[in-house]
């Protein structure tokens, strides 16, 4: 008789994450997660009190992955990398983006946490760190609206298969307009370049 397979909570989270990455939360059931694991539903229920608890773990993992994308060095500009990264995340992980940003009841809280993390990163951007905190926050909000809009259009399939270079150009051109205006208002005689 073959030994019984033991699954860890990490195995359950990974199976649930994989399921959401493929199809969002529409098939997020203990049975579908168990199918991914190749087991009964027992491991799911033995590690998690509810499906909401497991869902939160999946959302946290998706948030960490999205943040990882925003920290990749697509260009020399930390700020441009952040926006480009979120759009690349949406393009390469359409269902995860929808689950994280568009469909989750926790989206508001997650977006606020996400914005706070990204805002802290702005201090590392050579040019934007010259701006007063209020101006940096305003830039983050304006570019956040644009970035989330573009990422949503991509995840919905309206814009398909943009190259990394095209995404960088779109983000750069919009960012340049927003940042240059903020620099002028703050009396800083520099222009945004990447």
**Structural domain range at position 9:** 1-48
Does 67 share its domain with 137? yes
The reported pTM is 0.88
- Alpha-carbon torsion 7, 11, 16, 22, what sign? negative
Does 19 share its domain with 74? no
Q: CB-hemisphere CA count at 13 Å for 74? A: 25
The total domain count for the chain is 2
Mind listing the pLDDT tens digit of every residue in the chain (194 residues)?
Answer: 444 568 999 999 999 999 999 999 998 999 999 999 999 999 999 999 999 999 999 999 998 999 899 999 999 998 899 999 999 999 999 999 999 888 877 777 777 877 888 888 888 888 888 899 899 889 988 998 999 999 999 999 998 889 999 999 999 999 999 999 999 998 988 888 87
Q: In CATH, what number is assigned to the domain containing residue 23?
A: 1.10.10.60
Does 42 share its domain with 72? no
Strands (E) across 40-171 are located at: none
């Amino acid at each position: 008789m073959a030994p019984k397979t033991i699954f860890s909570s990490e195995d359950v989270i990974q199976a649930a994450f994989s399921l959401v990455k493929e199809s969002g939360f529409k098939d997020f059931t203990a049975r579908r997660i168990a199918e991914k694991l190749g087991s009964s539903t027992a491991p799911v229920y033995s590690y998690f009190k509810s499906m909401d608890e497991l869902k939160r773990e999946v959302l946290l993992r998706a948030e960490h992955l999205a943040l990882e994308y925003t920290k990749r060095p697509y260009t020399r500009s930390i700020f441009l990398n952040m926006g480009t990264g979120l759009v690349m995340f949406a393009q390469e992980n359409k269902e995860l983006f929808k689950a994280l940003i568009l469909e989750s009841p926790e989206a508001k809280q997650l977006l606020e946490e996400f914005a706070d993390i990204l805002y802290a990163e702005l201090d590392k951007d050579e040019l934007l760190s010259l701006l007063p905190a209020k101006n940096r926050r305003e830039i983050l909000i304006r570019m956040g609206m644009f970035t989330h809009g573009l990422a949503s259009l991509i995840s919905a399939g309206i814009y398909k298969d943009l190259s990394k270079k095209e995404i960088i150009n779109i983000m750069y051109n919009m960012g340049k307009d927003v940042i240059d205006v903020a620099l002028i208002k703050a009396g800083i005689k520099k222009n945004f370049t990447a």
